[in-house]
């Protein structure tokens, strides 16, 4: 059974990965890719990166660190001037945390990133 809401007990970023990544079991690499993250303050408080494909969470990762992808030569030519994309260094989340999120529904219309904020983060 698929549960409908994503818990807000941890700050998380939901990223949309291509269906091909899900089929190839390359979910972690797809979730690590370059993302346009507007809220850098929130990024510094983010615990998890949740990969979603076709409206469901298919990967749950702990965010170890992030980096500016504009510093990587092969990506520089694909980035519009003034846009700063972020890459993630991820590790598999512990099994108990994965169980809380895997299979949860997300709108199929989410493109790019979506922020999941704890009540404390919302109040801040």
Give residue 1's pLDDT: 43
Residue 87: inside a domain: yes
Beta bridge partners of 92: 61
In the chain, the number of structural domains is 1
Residue 19: inside a domain: yes
Non-local CB neighbours of 118 within 8 Å, separated by 6+ positions: 8, 9, 10, 11
Residue 68: inside a domain: yes
pLDDT tens profile 26-54 = 889 888 888 888 888 888 999 999 998 88
Residue 63: inside a domain: yes
Residue 113: inside a domain: yes
Q: How confident is the model at residue 19 (pLDDT cuts 50, 70, 90)?
A: low
Q: Is 0.95 surpassed by the pTM of this model? A: no
Residue 3: inside a domain: no
Residue 6: inside a domain: no
DSSP 64-85: EEEEEGGGSHHHHTTS-TT---
Residue 118: inside a domain: yes
What are the structure tokens assigned to 95, written together?
A: 């099994």
Non-local CB neighbours of 3 within 8 Å, separated by 6+ positions: 103, 104, 105
Q: Residue 20 pLDDT > 80, yes or no?
A: no
Give residue 40's pLDDT: 85
CATH assignment of the domain containing 25: 2.30.130
């Amino acid at each position: 059974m698929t549960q409908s809401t994503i818990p807000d007990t941890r700050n998380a970023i939901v990223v949309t990965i291509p269906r091909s990544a899900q089929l190839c079991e390359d979910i972690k690499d797809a979730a690590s890719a370059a993302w346009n993250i507007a809220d850098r303050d929130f990024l510094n408080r983010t615990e998890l990166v949740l990969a979603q494909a076709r409206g469901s969470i298919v990967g749950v990762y702990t965010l170890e660190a992030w980096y500016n992808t504009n510093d990587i030569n092969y990506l520089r030519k694909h980035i519009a001037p003034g846009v700063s994309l972020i890459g993630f260094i991820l590790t598999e989340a512990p099994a108990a945390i994965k169980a809380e999120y895997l299979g949860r529904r997300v709108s199929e219309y989410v493109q790019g990133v979506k922020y999941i904020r704890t009540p404390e983060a919302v109040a801040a």
